[in-house]
Amino acid sequence: MLKPITPQFVVPSRVSGAGAAVPIGSVSSTKLFDLNGALFPTPAVPGCPAAAGDIIATHSSPGAAVFLDGSPAAVAENSKTSIEDIQ
């Protein structure tokens, strides 16, 4: 079952030592969603890579994230969440 992410919830991830963002999973929704301010149409984009520092915003439908370790997370509709680095 997906775990709901409340607005402004922080999802941990990793960043490489060189400062480049490393994808830690993917984000998708059944309707439009924003990733770092860019609007993504769906279902044309079944899953967008997500990395540390990314900001995900949903609109009229919830979103879902699946991380590289297979763990899922849900993003409630009409909410915004960010992905931050873990130490």
Give the burial class of 63: count Cβ atoms within 10 A of its Cβ; 0-12 exposed, 13-18 middle, 19 or more buried.
buried
Per-residue pLDDT tens over the stretch 35-75: 999 998 876 666 889 998 899 999 999 999 888 888 888 99
Three-state secondary structure of 54-65: CEEEECCCCEEE
Residue 3 has pLDDT above 80, yes or no: no
Q: CA-to-CA distance for 10 and 53, rounded, in angstroms?
A: 10
Q: CA-to-CA distance for 20 and 28, rounded, in angstroms?
A: 22
Its pTM stands at: 0.69
Q: Measure the CA angle with vertex 25, ends 40 and 70; round to 5°.
A: 130
